[in-house]
Chains A and B, each alone.
Chain A
Amino acid sequence: MVMSLEGISLSRNGKQVLDNISGELGAGKIIALLGPNGAGKSTLIKAMARLLECQGEIRLQGRAIEKFSAEELAQHLAYLPQHSQLQFPLEVEEVLSLATLPFSLTRLQQRQQVKQVISDWGIESLADKDFRQLSGGEQQRCQIARTYLQLSNMKAEGRGCGLWLLDEPASSLDLEHQQQLQKICLQATQEGHCVVIVLHDLNQAFSLADEVWLLDKGQIQAQGTTTEVMTEQMISNVFNVSARRIDDAGKSLFVFG
């Protein structure tokens, strides 16, 4: 088990944003957080990344998350935010190299890793460009590459399996790169890491995730395997849409309307 949450609650301006959330994140699993807008998905993932103070207990690798220093925490989890906020002229290569910050690497090792990730992700043409001048999708690909590089170093440095938190990573990606993202997530789980991913595309969640946490109004409405959680009735109730699930040859597809 990589992370456990018990009784996680958070209120903001008198509104209960997270309400008594509990669960476990296992190594080698992909857990999808699903729910309508304002359900608390991004808030929950930020709480997992210790970016918000909340009630309850979060344990990472068996230790209370508050006990980790900033550097130690970064050696066990990597977080991809929903939006990029860079307002200064940093090159893509410089952004990618920040993934090596929590680890004790020489400058040569940092450069080699950055070159490798640029090659693996096919972003050679973007490497020396100003990050702010990239399209939304290109920025997202670079950020995914950066966090994946951070995750890869956890294994290399003997930290064991890490936790990869992705907040809507596919929102700006085209179909090709959404598929690339899926492959990378599966690769990460094969290496033993745990991936928590916020998705809006239910079919994507169905094909990718091992487990689903379905949230609404800050509460977990259902938690379990995709087949158990993503029933027609549950999806229709939570998303307030008419949904039909088609099962064929071991695969499932949701149709709406």
Chain B
Amino acid sequence: MIKKLLISPFGWLLGIVLSIGICMGALFLGSIDVQTLMNSDIGSKILWDIRVPRVLLAFVIGASLSLAGVLIQSNVRNPLADPSLIGVSAGAALGAALMIVLADFVDFQAQYYIPVAAFIGGILATIAVLKLGRNDLPGGMALLILAGIAINVVAASLIGLLTYLATDSALRHITFWSLGSLASANYFWLTLCSIALLIVCFWLPKQHRKLDAILLGQAEANTMGVDVKRLQKQSIVLVALLAALAVSACGIIGFIGLVTPHIGRMLVGASHRYLLPLSFFLGGSLLVIADSIARTIIAPAELPIGIVTALIGAPVFIWLLLREGRRLQW
């Protein structure tokens, strides 16, 4: 009962958070202004072409990363896992860096190709991790985790090489891309990311008890009727899809996939019936708030959103850990 009560207010808070996100910005839109602006060409453009897709995309990506975090932590049975474990973020960063350096070298406009290269890089890295860790996939996830670390190291070293070879402008571009930004949010990315999120949201209701069973152990889950191999493969594919799209749309945003599930578990425990919807709302709301701060704190300039999520999120997480320290045994 208490767990249900904790989740339901988040539905109401969602409306408040989205409203705050739409109003905040270099140009503050109060409620009266919104009505007036909707009737003006420029105002309407600001609202519908910039603010609304950006705030909604922030929510969708935050929710996506948060659900991806829950899925990966439950499947590897490790609360320190996050979606980057399967190499998707590193692979996406490598794809983006390669395209930026190439575009600079060959001298062509790469802005539309960078997200594509990031997506392909993320998916290829995940495939490499799955191939390397395959032998252990049914029995345990230890080899998968090691494979993820290996791919992350390889990608990081190649990115290092690219940054060494890059011109100053390309280097700056790579750096800011990797810090994350929702500045180029549009309805195309909103639609794509929303479709991926909807697919996961339709899949999850039938899986939440199976995910609970996996927490007990793979042997126990198998003998409780869970096809563990199949569930893990499906989970990893969906995590890769959600994370690759998120990274392609707005660069690397850390903290959300790692910490939001922790905060959710501190509030409602590990039962996925409650954890999944709570993480959905928490992750989405947190990223909307972080993006609102990112684009207003040094307005008219913007802070990269990855910096905001790290600066705000890490101390909050440390505070929660200290507060709940006695009960935590992770």
Contact = CB atoms under 8 A, between A and B. Distances in A.
Interface string A37-73: 0000000001001110000000000000000011111
A73 B269 contact: no
A5 B64 CA distance: 47
B40 interface: no
Contacts of A186: none
Contacts of A86: 215-217
A90 B213 contact: no
Contacts of A87: 77-79, 215, 329-330
B320 interface: no
Interface centre among B77, B209, B216, B219 (most CB of A within 10 A): B216
B224 A102 contact: yes
A84 interface: yes
B212 interface: yes
A182 B254 CA distance: 53
B265 A88 contact: yes
Interface in A81-104: 81, 84-91, 94-95, 98-99, 101-102
A75 B224 CA distance: 8
Q: Could you tell me the dominant secondary structure of chain A's interface residues?
A: mixed
Contacts of A32: none
A101 B215 contact: no
B223 A90 contact: no
B226 interface: yes
B8 interface: no
A78 interface: yes
B17 to A, nearest CB: 26
A46 B213 contact: no
A130 interface: yes
Q: Could you tell me the dominant secondary structure of chain B's interface residues?
A: loop
B227 interface: yes
Interface in B258-280: 265, 269-271
A77 B223 contact: yes
Contact of A98 (B212, B219, B227, B269): B212
B222 interface: yes
A118 interface: no
Given A74-B225, A99-B224, A132-B329, A79 B219 contact: yes
B212 A94 contact: yes
B225 A75 contact: yes
A150 interface: yes
B212 A90 contact: yes
Contacts of A79: 219-220, 223
A185 to B, nearest CB: 18
A69 to B, nearest CB: 7
Interface in B187-221: 209-210, 212-213, 215-217, 219-220
A200 to B, nearest CB: 21
Nearest to B209: A101
B323 interface: no
A150 B224 contact: yes
Given A79-B223, A98-B224, A132-B329, A89 B265 contact: yes
Interface in B63-108: 74, 77-79
Given A74-B224, A89-B265, A101 B270 contact: no
A101 B223 contact: no
Contacts of B217: 81, 84-86
Nearest to A147: B223
Contact of A70 (B79, B225, B329): B225
Given A89-B265, A101-B213, A74 B271 contact: no
Contacts of A78: 223
A85 B222 CA distance: 14
Contacts of B270: 88-90
Contacts of B225: 70-75, 101-102
Nearest to A107: B273
A70 B77 CA distance: 20
Interface in A132-153: 132-133, 150
Nearest to A71: B225
27 contacts: A51-B222, A51-B223, A70-B222, A74-B223, A74-B224, A78-B223, A79-B223, A81-B219, A81-B220, A84-B217, A85-B217, A86-B215, A87-B78, A87-B329, A88-B74, A88-B77, A90-B212, A90-B216, A91-B269, A94-B271, A98-B209, A98-B224, A99-B224, A101-B224, A102-B225, A133-B329, A150-B224
Given A95-B216, A102-B224, 15 more contacts: A46-B219, A49-B219, A49-B223, A51-B219, A69-B227, A70-B222, A70-B228, A79-B220, A81-B220, A86-B215, A88-B77, A98-B213, A98-B224, A101-B224, A133-B329
Interface of B: 74, 77-79, 209-210, 212-213, 215-217, 219-220, 222-228, 265, 269-271, 327, 329-330
Interface of A: 46, 49-51, 69-75, 77-79, 81, 84-91, 94-95, 98-99, 101-102, 130, 132-133, 150
